[in-house]
Amino acid sequence: MNKIKHIFLPLLLGVVLIYSCDDDNNTFVNPFADINHLALSISDNDSIVQFLKNNYYDVATDSVKTLVSGEIALYDQKEKLTIMDAKRYDLDYKLYIYHIKEGNPIHPDFGEASDDKGNPTIADSIYAKYSGQSILSSSELSAVFDSNTSGNWFSYERLAVRGWSFGFTNLKAGYLKKEDNGDTFNGPITYLEGGKSIFFIPSGLSYTSINPNNYASTLVNQNLMFKVELLDFVQFTDHDNDGRPSSEEDANDDGDLENDFNDNSQPGVPDYLNRDI
């Protein structure tokens, strides 16, 4: 199952959902009702910072490892670490992005400047490789819980890990492999030199319990680490096909397309999915 695209849903009777019974009826009880998400956002940030201070990126193995003498902590590599401010559900978060390479969309032999689409917007559909792990402590990661080594398409409205939308705006796509004469490669579609980064994502930008659809996820309220590679993206993605890029339908300009509702006749449809807006 692709855990990034599909939030775990309680499809079987009684799965993870908790009910209390009184004399008259069964009432659903929110198992996360006591969570203070503002406090959680602060503690999550502290936990991620501690992890960044206690670990480094090993170029030889393309992996994050516990800090040893002679290496530089992720947190101290200021030229490689970007800290992005992000908002979701009216809460402020920080997303940490460790840059491995920006990405090169121009083929060295057959490319043109026009092949460079720049960086994707928050709303653009992306084609990417990835592997994800939970941050368990300042020095420990979980096993990989989901990965894709060949590439998969992700669309904003189906993306459960909202931190991705912000993180990928820092990368560029790669270029398509070609035959030596410039013809289309006679083999599987292959992208080279895609932008690579490691995202350190607080729980509020991933499987947050603010969203009831996440209650059944084994990753709910966990900080996550993703190694990603951007292969391609759809520039100016228009999710509702109204002729206006979805990135321009963020009326309050907070980077969250899911909280903009400006059609009184369809109050439950966000602007970026509403052809009348």
CATH at 59: 3.10.50.40
Q: Is residue 95 part of a domain?
A: yes
Residue range 27-69, pLDDT digits in tens: 677 888 899 999 999 999 999 999 999 999 999 999 999 999 9
Which range of residues forms the domain containing residue 226?
Answer: 18-237
Q: How many CB atoms lie within 10 A of CB 106?
A: 16
For tokens 């052809």, what's the residue? 275
Percentage of the residues of the chain whose pLDDT score is greater than 90: 82
Mode of pairing for the β-strands spanning 26-29 and 91-101:
unpaired
At residue 43, the pLDDT reads 97
How far is it, in rounded angstroms, from Cα 124 to Cα 170?
A: 13
At residue 52, the pLDDT reads 98
Q: Is residue 246 part of a domain?
A: no
Taking residues 111-127, what's their average pLDDT? 96
Q: Is residue 133 part of a domain?
A: yes
pLDDT score of 115 more than 60: yes
Number of structural domains found in the chain: 1
Mean pLDDT of the chain, nearest integer: 90
Strand order through the sheet with 91-101 = 81-88, 91-101, 195-201, 224-233, 126-134, 146-154
Q: Is residue 8 part of a domain?
A: no
pLDDT score of 110 more than 90: yes
How far is it, in rounded angstroms, from Cα 257 to Cα 251?
A: 8
Under 8 Å CB-to-CB from 180, ≥6 apart: which residues?
none
Beta bridge partners of 188: none
Residue range 154-164, pLDDT digits in tens: 999 888 899 99
pLDDT score of 246 more than 60: yes
Q: Is residue 258 part of a domain?
A: no
How is residue 92 written in tokens? 């402020």
Taking residues 243-252, what's their average pLDDT? 94
How far is it, in rounded angstroms, from Cα 109 to Cα 185?
A: 14
Taking residues 208-219, what's their average pLDDT? 92
Q: Is residue 10 part of a domain?
A: no
Give yes or no for a contact between 223 and 95, defined as CB atoms under 8 angstroms apart: no
- Assign 23 a pLDDT band (cuts: 50, 70, 90): very low
Q: Is residue 174 part of a domain?
A: yes
Under 8 Å CB-to-CB from 106, ≥6 apart: which residues?
112, 113, 115, 116, 175
At residue 25, the pLDDT reads 54
Q: Is residue 259 part of a domain?
A: no
At residue 21, the pLDDT reads 43
At residue 29, the pLDDT reads 78
Give yes or no for a contact between 103 and 196, defined as CB atoms under 8 angstroms apart: yes
Taking residues 7-11, what's their average pLDDT? 39
pLDDT score of 83 more than 70: yes
pLDDT score of 95 more than 90: yes
AA letter at 255: G
Q: Which of 190, 220, 206 is nearest to 30 (CA)?
A: 220
pLDDT score of 1 more than 50: no
Tell me which of 2-6, 30-34, 270-274 is least confident: 2-6
How far is it, in rounded angstroms, from Cα 33 to Cα 31?
A: 6
Residue range 233-243, pLDDT digits in tens: 999 999 999 99
- Assign 15 a pLDDT band (cuts: 50, 70, 90): very low
